[in-house]
Amino acid sequence: MEMKIEVVMLPVTDIEASIKFYERTLGFHLDHDVQPAEGMRVVQLTPPGSGCSVVFGTGIGELAAPGSVKNTHLVVEDIQEAVEALKANGLEISDITDMGGVKYAFFADPSGNTWSLQEKYKQR
């Protein structure tokens, strides 16, 4: 049986600030921003090359408190290159940490949801 994670729901405090952050700062593609019903807004963005998107909005069901999604991983080929590019976009991101051959850098979105940028593990 094959299973895929395709959407991560993010609780956010400010939809417009979140769109700006994910689209302009991180470079995610804005897939859609729709209002299918009164009081409902659904925003979906996808990282370049990913099969999994983030979704946030209003009226889309009960979500956890803004900032409560922790340590979601974004995996990149070259973490140094990614960190430099993201810093150039204005992202506040930690220094790169090597945890026994797996490299990470950490940041948060405007609502306090946290992310781990991870360099793709290369077996030796």
Q: Tell if the pTM clears 0.85, that is, is over it.
A: yes
pLDDT of 63 reads 77
21 DSSP assignment:
I
CA distance 90 to 85: 9
**Is residue 122 scored above 80 in pLDDT?**
no
Homologous superfamily in CATH for domain 7-58+66-119: 2,3-Dihydroxybiphenyl 1,2-Dioxygenase, domain 1 (3.10.180.10)
Q: What is the mean pLDDT of residues 62-74?
A: 92
CB of 123 within 8 A of CB of 80? no
pLDDT at 124: 60
Residue appearing with tokens 């290369």: 122
Residue 101, pLDDT score: 86
Work out whether strand 53-58 and strand 7-9 pair parallel, antiparallel, or are unpaired: parallel
Percent of the chain with pLDDT strictly greater than 90: 90
Residue range 89-97: mean pLDDT, rounded: 98
